[in-house]
Chain A
Amino acid sequence: MFEAQEINAEHKDLIHDVAYDYYGERMATCSSDQYVKVWDQNSEGKWILTSSWKAHSGSVWKVTWAHPEFGQVLATCSFDRTAAVWEELVGETPCPAERGNRHWVRRTNLVDSRTSVTDVKFGPKTQGLQLATCSADGVIRIYEAPDVMNLSQWTLQHEVQCKLSCSCLSWNPSLSKNHPLMLAVGSDDTNPANGGKVFIYEYSDNIRRWMKTETINSITDPVHDISFSPNLGRSFHLLAVATKDVRIISLTPIPDNASLQSGLSKLEIQTSAQFDDHGCTVWRVCWNITGTILASSGDDGCVRMFKMNYINSWKPVAVLKGDGSHISSETQRSSISSAAGLPTPPVSQTARYIKLGTIAQSREVPWH
């Protein structure tokens, strides 16, 4: 398990996003070097680069997988003001010897934005193929492929103006029919005077429009990442926010008559937890598939994991060092600041992580 496995990711600039596919078996990376790479694990668990291509003419900010029901499909967004949808073709390559048996083709290029497209996410599978993008000038766009078999045809369904520059977005993946389609958008606007930096939009079936339903005013610092927890059976939603610290916001729908009429739900917003463990800017937040563990990463170069013990009680459970130099699991360190203020019992089981390998990126620095 400790055998050193060093693979050069060979991205020539910063890696901005890594994404597991739906089954957690493939990986896509994207970088400022304008390339997107797709990796597969071989039988020994080693990551093998299967595809690499120049996807954009600017930094590629995000890469995201579609549900496998729609095929092997990726979406990317870039500084070059476009978002693109890619599909993997297996076999039937004109020159199989050269490129292996698979390659990715651009199915569409979404060019509506006039500024950098900062995030792109596929909507819940139940909605068919929907794609949301947000851009630095604060426009959220919802695209739809009316025919899921034809990925080259996307129509711009909605354009929602958000008054601040958008940096990240997240679909609410809830499967409940009680929950309307919901999007959360974060802004990296640096001026605290501009108010809350997280906005909740809901789709109203009655008027067929996306409406801003809430602004989370407790967060006035720039938001770098935002992620709805998978909601497999909860009546409320959990939203993780990466800002100067890690926040977990719970959104509880309040049933009332007005919301029944508008088709939009009124939400009660509470901060479930707030962690300053990174002690610096937090860049990413990510949930496990059941929404029980939250991972965050920050400028301290660590991944920190938090686990929910019982209602509104979150506790740090593990720290992974990004340079792989030292890995500690923390059990007793209690830096929790739970909003509920409940005492936290020691967790019976802590996840211990070991480093499997390093994908180092030794960029050759040109020097003169």
Chain B
Amino acid sequence: MGTFSVIQEGPVNALALNRDNTQVAIGGRNVFKVYSIEEDKFKEIYNLRSSKHLNLSFSCNDISWSLIDDNYLATAATNGHVCVWNLTKMGKAMQEQDYQEHKRTVNKVNFHSSEPNRLISGSQDGTMKYFDIRGKTSVATFVSNTESVRDVQFSPHMPHMFAAVSENGSVQLWDVRRPDKCQQQFTAHSGPVFACDWHPEMTWLATASRDKTIKVWDLTSKPTLEYTIHTIASIGHVKWRPQRKYHIASCALVVDCSINIWDVRRPFIPFAAFNEHKDVATGVAWRGDPQVFLSTSRDCTLLQHAFRDASRPASKANPQGMSLNNTGEVLYACRVPANTNLSKMSGLIRKYSTSTMNNSSDQFHLASSVMHHFQTTLSQEPKCFYSLALNYVLSGRSLTEMCEHNATVAKEHGKSYIATVWRIVKTMYGEEYIQNSFNSHGCKNNEDTVSHTNIPAGNLALASLDHSTDNERQSRGGDTPAAQCSGGDDETETEDQVDHGLLYNNGFTSYSNFRLGLPRGDFYFGDNELDIELDGLNTVADFKSSFRNSQQLGEQQDWTLPNEAFNIRHEIQNHSPPPEQFPNQNSPDINDDAPIAVEDSAAQGVLTVSNIPERCVWDPSSIVISALKYHAMLGDVQTAACMLLVMGDQRRLLTGLDEATQEHWLLGYIELLGRYRLWNIAAQVIKLSWLPNVTQLNQQSTRINTNCGKCSKPLQRAGWLCDRCHTSEYALCSVCHQVVKGLYAWCQGCSHGGHLAHMMKWMSLNKTCPTGCGHSCEYS
């Protein structure tokens, strides 16, 4: 039997099946029909509204079909009538009885399942009437003492018992022989109860309410709540599924158009759902068979549902959860396999025939998850990232030194391939390389720099180009001291070299050896070092200008440079703004200079080297770019971003690398640093950045609103003077009552604070504000 439907003239309120489930009666405001149910369709046999004498009695709230005599139907009418219909008669005679006893709408009628001719009705007027349909009036009236009765159902277990549910949330159990007083009454729900249904086998009563729950009560003795099902909407109807002890069908009063079948043992998710209706379903009737049921809906249809067409929300539900964190730990929650549950249970309850247990519907309710927390023993990558981020030097030293340092750091972490990339960058763009390439013509190389001579001689031109740019960078470094990590006003790279030279002498002997092997250019720096210490700021200027001059003169005249450096120093002392302070203006000059240098060297080189004209400029940038891109692709954005940062202005030479990619890398690195709470390094990266989109990151959300510590009024002016209190004394440190210079820490809850150290000390011992204002301060 499949799913099929028939469309009606109007919304259908109720349905009732006959004794052998072959015919169905449906009723609504303007629908009242009987259909026979065939293999794949409904066939209309009666249309009771075809009568000429239509009145409100034909508008049904509910229908009941006698289970003893197949010819009798009862309806509950909206006008308060209870009508009994005899299907063997014709025309007006069909309406055999018309009880006009209820004062308001009748909500339910229910034929007794075993006693013939017995009928009960429940009405909005708060009463229930018991009828013998052979009589003209009711046999008994039951007064519920509640506002209205929404459902009445004869118990299939106790012949004289019926249950009534009402809008005040209570359930009453009545004996038909005792109309004076109900047998039992209990409050079942926190809202109106709209429906109830007796379990066909157990003495269970299911109740459905506007409080979005279905409750199952065991009424064997005292009413006990067995199960509660939480649903997404008010429930209008419930019906136990035959032959399935724990299954119950429900339809919602609003919102939810689907008919859900629940396993009461798993009260959170429907066992099956039927979504065919376009509007809320108003009634459900099982055809005696657990696989087939009929339903009516406000969408004007009568539908037969086959269970095989049901959707199973639980099977679509994801039974697993998983999450990875930044240290490589894994959280994993998964469903406990059904057999595990079985074995657990068989321990408790000796034996179960596995054949029944393998049935999926029997295991449906056995839903539970286990959750595990896995930690890696070798979570190398995150630790390595963290350590590298802390130890990399990104600014404040010469490119060569930074590369060498970072390479050493990378190697210490077992990242020899990253160390190699650092060394390549050093080789390509470092100061030593530039000097070495000059020296490769004029003087002998030491063993450490021999490898540099392997670089094609064509690098000469590039080198001078590099050198000029490098020079510009140095001048820039002097101009924008803020960009330098250690931050002195007159700091230059030469000064740094002094520091780090010492550092290396202490810590890195191999490196100092390397430096001893440096060619003559470095002695030149060495000469200046003494002066720098003596002369301070001025030295910077003349160092740079001298250095520039040295470049323009070319390598052949290098020997004269120290003298020139001294001479020019005194001249420039008189010129207050050295031209290098405008790097943007200077840069084109320098770029102009570079070809000159090339020409010079070429012209002079002709004398000594035969094949210089054939040399073309070899640009290492493409190789460096692809190396960086490769690392970024591998997920190692740290390397890519740090190298860009360390290269400083040399990265201009990486013409093949668009700004968007550079920005992507920097943002990626900052994001990762944030994940590890490395805010200081992230701030350093932002500060060192050359891209507007990155630098503005620390310009956002910098506004701080402050309140007066006494009157809590926002401080409008700069400083701590309160407009209302006319004093700033409440801005003193609440611990030492001194003016706070520098970092002021305060609680955003009570506006009191003071020196960071004092507040930390206080809060480590106390929980409330040091001013005694009673606030439990929060410092996060």
B-binding residues in A (CB < 8 A):
1, 9, 11-20, 22-25, 27, 29-34, 47, 57-59, 61, 79-81, 90-92, 116, 136, 167, 174-178, 188, 224-225, 231-235, 283-284, 286-293, 295, 297-298, 301, 303, 308, 310-311, 320, 322-324, 327, 349-363, 365-367
Contact = CB atoms under 8 A, between A and B. Distances in A.
Contact of A233 (B255, B316, B375, B668): B668
A366 B231 CA distance: 20
Max count, chain B CB within 10 A of own CB: residue among A59, A167, A178, A311: A59
Given A34-B230, A324-B372, A360-B370, A286 B328 contact: no
10 contacts: A34-B268, A57-B212, A224-B318, A288-B381, A289-B675, A293-B328, A298-B320, A320-B332, A351-B377, A360-B371
B668 A362 contact: no
B371 A289 contact: no
A354 B365 CA distance: 32
A192 B365 CA distance: 30
A232 B665 contact: yes
B632 A233 contact: yes
A29 B677 CA distance: 24
B660 A59 contact: no
B281 interface: no
Contact of A234 (B327, B371, B632): B632
Max count, chain A CB within 10 A of own CB: residue among B372, B377, B385, B632: B372
Nearest to B265: A366
Contact of A20 (B320, B324, B340, B632): B324
A354 B314 CA distance: 32
Contacts of B376: 351-353
A323 B336 CA distance: 8
B371 A29 contact: yes
Nearest to A360: B370
Contact of B379 (A57, A233, A351): A351
A24 B374 CA distance: 13
B334 interface: yes
Given A16-B321, A80-B232, A354-B377, A232 B669 contact: yes
Interface stretch (B33-41, B429-437, B635-643, B753-761): B635-643
Interface residues of B, number: 84
A47 B268 contact: no
Contacts of B780: 90
A16 B317 contact: yes
B318 A283 contact: yes
Contact of B369 (A31, A81, A311, A349): A31
A358 to B, nearest CB: 6
A355 B377 CA distance: 10
A293 B318 contact: no
Given A290-B636, A295-B330, A19 B323 contact: yes
Contacts, number: 271
B316 A188 contact: yes
Contacts of B661: 176, 178, 233, 235
A15 B268 contact: no
A124 B660 CA distance: 17
Max count, chain A CB within 10 A of own CB: residue among B334, B385, B633: B334
B331 to A, nearest CB: 5
Contacts of A301: 334, 337
A23 B661 CA distance: 26
Given A61-B317, A175-B664, A359-B370, 19 more contacts: A18-B331, A18-B332, A19-B321, A29-B321, A33-B268, A34-B230, A34-B268, A58-B268, A177-B660, A177-B693, A178-B664, A188-B316, A234-B635, A283-B318, A284-B322, A297-B332, A353-B374, A354-B375, A361-B368
A17 B321 contact: yes
B443 interface: no
Contacts of B90: none
Nearest to A67: B674
Contacts of A19: 321, 323
B321 A284 contact: yes
Nearest to A115: B275
Cβ-closest 9 pairs across A and B: A24-B325, A232-B668, A233-B632, A176-B664, A292-B635, A359-B371, A15-B369, A18-B321, A233-B637
B326 interface: yes
A9 B371 contact: yes
Interface string B294-330: 0000000000000000000110111111111111111
Nearest to A224: B318
Contacts of B6: none
Contacts of A354: 374-375, 377
Contacts of B326: 23-24, 288-289
Contacts of A1: 375
Contacts of B334: 297, 301, 322
